[in-house]
Structure 1
Amino acid sequence: MRPAQYSDDDLEQHSLRRRVSDDGQRSGFEHDVDRILYSTQWRALAGKSQVVASGELGAYHTRLTHSMKVAQLGRRMAERLQRRYGGPNPALVEAACMAHDIGHPPFGHAGETALRATMDQLRGQGSQLDSFEGNAQTFRVVTCLAAHKYPGHRGLHLTRACLDAATKYPWERAPLAENPARHYKWGVYDADLAAFTWVRNGRTDTEVPVEEQLMDWADDVTYACHDVEDFYRTGHIPLASLFPPPGAAGGDTEREVRRFLDYVQAKRARAGEPFDRAAAQELLSEIGKRLTVPAPYTGSHDDAVAVNRRTSDLIDYFTRGITLDIGAGAPIRYGARLVIPAERRAACDLLKELVWAYVIDRPALATQQHGQRRIVAELLRWTHESPDLLPPDRAEELTQHGDVLRAAADHVASLTEDQAVALHRRLSGTGLGSFSDNVSP
């Protein structure tokens, strides 16, 4: 039976405006999970970066495996909260987590910044509010670009509740001088405002459903735990120096901790954010209780068991202490606030900085991302200049709205990284490939 906090409006589907019915076999939110799972855009996430390129040797997470773990973690947290508070619905949280990154372009954030900067340049001064953002692209994919089984209708026909829960930044892009934060992070393009207005149903920017709050926390925890695990396994993050066993700390540990905290302090200073070094030192000690490692990873079975156990302990630490603060008589969806102990949120943020300090800001990745941004920017420019390069679905889209740049961005964003590299070589003349190559999704 449907939980009382979900109304018939929540279960309406985008564009079809009809409630989900499956003779009781699946709930509306289980429909959402299945439709995302079977979409080509979900499958394409296997070829897109989480941190490093999807084709890197080694067992790195891709955007797909990251999204799968976000969905699993979000559902488990929702199940615990549902047993205690009567909601939220676990299938709804799972669907929102699955959808949250489905609009991300090839090469992750490097590709995203390249698309945004190039679109801003091509739009010209004064017309830079309709650009590119991964979260806004997610909304566009699930409401417009993806295809389901109903002819004449676009998108995956997800429930209103799912679309709202998957919208991380429920506002349009703001001018840079007016609101810098909303200039760089927003959740809807001008072209999709009608669907967005229907989804939000008159709610303000600050009215965020609890399912979105859970999705956001599951995303942060997965990023912090599994990406740190990836780069410890491959020798990039020196966890053995940062978190040695009790009594084993020495000069190497002190130097490594100091170096890491210097990095975080400088980064926060550049962003104009405060940094309490003593508090950060205490957080590292707290993290070390669950992440202590005696030596660098060797690949042995014992090492694999140990790192899996420590990752599990960390996830447990970040997810077991959460609660809901629910207003008196308020429905759980919009009347509840997810309460995360402040020290655990701060510890999660500090763990994510390990990936930035030892991986993302390293020269080796910086030079690779320079090339990735160039590939994405040039593909967008070339497709914008020659719309005949668009694949059939994007060409059909262009006849509907007439915006060549938006259609070009939709095309480039949909490519896997292998497709983007192959298409760039073909269009630049550096590697023409074969007539039978399929370089479009």
Structure 2
Amino acid sequence: MSVRNVERIEGQYSALAPGYSEADEDRWVPEHGKSVYRSSFERDRARLLHSSALRRLGAKTQVVSPSSDDFSRTRLTHSLEVAQVGRELGRMLGCDPDVVDAACLSHDLGHPPFGHHGEKVLNGLAGHIGGFEGNAQTLRILCRLETKRFHPDGRSAGLNLTRASLDAAVKYPWRAHEAPLAPDGTRSQKFGAYEDDLDAFTWMRAGVVGTRKSMEAQVMDAADDIAYSVHDVEDGIVNGRFQLKFLQDRVQRARVIQTVQEWYLPGTPEDQVDAAIGRLEANENWVRESDGSRRALAALKNMTSELIGRFCHDFWSATRNIHGEKPLVRHEADLVLPDQTLQEICVMKGIAAHYIMASREQLPVYKRQTDVLEALHGLLMETGDRFLEPPFQADFRSAVDDAGRHRAIIDQIASLTDGACLEWYATLVKGQPVTNALFV
């Protein structure tokens, strides 16, 4: 009988997986009494699954708008797929699967309406109050906006996840001014915490030196890259945006290589990107052309499954070759990412970026999304808390300065799904009922 089963029978289930400490199980607000049938990390995962922030991802853009068809992935289905990939990869490396699972479910909670374009627009609108960053917004949701527990002084403690799960959910464990510098001396725009969430961030990072990611966060990050690199290509093919046979055309191949270099592999020579494409094309399951039939859809599924398994195996094998067979948890090791595998993943992302995100057909859509967000932001700034939902209205009223009130408005807009944002725009800004024509 396992240790965990013994503890279940004795009425308290608190055994930790090998490599984890009691400090990893701590919560920002102590909770007295432990579950008789779940570990603390299992409870973290359950809190994420039951959260409204996770449910809202079902109507937020991944690559293709959720209103465009019934097949394409949303932020929610993407997060569930990342959790499946991350859970298995983490388990093979010795991470607690529920810590990785919770991190994967959390990783996109901070995304606003309209995906990365919406994030860019909100960052501009919030520039003078610290900007907007989807990953920092995720921490804000987990530690403040999605409420499960409160501090004794009345402040929200968010979902009050364990330190290990919260740290695993932070893909960029630094503040804006601590972001790493690129080779050209520019500072990365990615960061994991706003200044007014510093108390939660500091508690979470207790005992960690510098800006290193936990092993579980690295697994989450890798699972995210693997999942969306493969699935975005699948979605694009099924939606008729492109066929992989296009890469056999010399001109189109050169343009895809250029997109890969500009978006994901700056400084990588063209011949190395081309070689990565060649390695992918050499795969016997590579689907050069799909006609949308059941057999074709099955072939696409086989291709995505094989690629996910291949990428995960490469990461697992390279990491085990360096670190051996011990459990690799928290801040005791780093995930090893082979260069050729990373190049192949970047090629997959670049294919989707070239034919979908960077497509000229998207420019009017992005313009429409910008107009909607800017107009809605302007109206809410003029009307104060009048139209805010009760939680954000309370934040607005309790703010001690204009920056705090502005942040409450940004939080409100960021919480909206794509459809809700369009509805607010139509009814509040335009004063008209919503029609399908509004959905972009």
The TM-score, its normalising length taken from structure 1, stands at: 0.86
Q: Give the corresponding residue for 1:161.
A: 164
Residues 187 and 300 from structure 1, CA distance in 2 versus in 1: closer, same or farther, beyond 3 angstroms? same
Tell me which amino acid in the other structure corresponds to 1:12: D
**Residue 353 (structure 1) aligned with residue 350 (structure 2):** yes
Deviations 1:181-226 (A, max 9, x none): 6552111111110011000014233322100000000000011000
> Aligned match of 1:72 in 77, 84, 90?
84
> Aligned match of 2:60 in 41, 48, 67?
48
Q: Distance in 2 between matches of 1:293 and 1:343?
A: 18
Q: Give the corresponding residue for 1:116.
A: 123
> Aligned match of 1:170 in 167, 173, 185?
173
Structure 1: 5+ residue runs without aligned partners? Answer: 82-86, 243-251, 435-441
Q: Distance in 1 between matches of 2:88 and 2:76?
A: 18
Residues 204 and 399 from structure 1, CA distance in 2 versus in 1: closer, same or farther, beyond 3 angstroms? farther
Deviations 1:333-383 (A, max 9, x none): 211111122110111011101111111011111210111122122222221
Q: Percent identity?
A: 32
Aligned-residue Cα RMSD (Å) equals 2.6
Q: Contact 1:13 / 1:19 at 8 angstroms: preserved in 2? A: no
Q: Contact 1:107 / 1:417 at 8 angstroms: preserved in 2? A: yes
Q: Give the corresponding residue for 1:438.
A: none
Aligned ranges 1:250-329 → 2 under 5 Å: 253-265=249-261, 267=262, 273-290=266-283, 293=286, 296-323=289-316, 324=319, 325-326=322-323
Aligned ranges 1:41-440 → 2 under 5 Å: 41-81=53-93, 87-120=94-127, 123=128, 130-148=130-148, 153-174=156-177, 182=187, 184-242=189-247, 253-265=249-261, 267=262, 273-290=266-283, 293=286, 296-323=289-316, 324=319, 325-326=322-323, 332-387=329-384, 388-402=386-400, 403-432=404-433
Name the count of aligned residue pairs.
408
Residues 147 and 263 from structure 1, CA distance in 2 versus in 1: closer, same or farther, beyond 3 angstroms? closer
What is the CA-CA distance between 1:275 and the residue it aligns to? 2.7
Q: Distance in 2 between matches of 1:307 and 1:330?
A: 34
Q: Distance in 2 between matches of 1:190 and 1:275?
A: 35
Tell me which amino acid in the other structure corresponds to 1:137: Q
Deviations 1:284-304 (A, max 9, x none): 111112375565322211101
What is the CA-CA distance between 1:280 and the residue it aligns to? 1.4
**Residue 4 (structure 1) aligned with residue 5 (structure 2):** no
What is the CA-CA distance between 1:178 and the residue it aligns to? 8.4
What is the CA-CA distance between 1:138 and the residue it aligns to? 0.3
What is the CA-CA distance between 1:281 and the residue it aligns to? 1.6
What is the CA-CA distance between 1:9 and the residue it aligns to? 1.2
Structure 2: 5+ residue runs without aligned partners? Answer: 1-14, 436-440
Matched residue SS, 1:197: helix
Q: Contact 2:83 / 2:105 at 8 angstroms: preserved in 1? A: yes
Q: Contact 2:259 / 2:353 at 8 angstroms: preserved in 1? A: no
Q: Contact 1:75 / 1:90 at 8 angstroms: preserved in 2? A: yes
Residues 74 and 109 from structure 1, CA distance in 2 versus in 1: closer, same or farther, beyond 3 angstroms? same
Residues 294 and 171 from structure 1, CA distance in 2 versus in 1: closer, same or farther, beyond 3 angstroms? closer
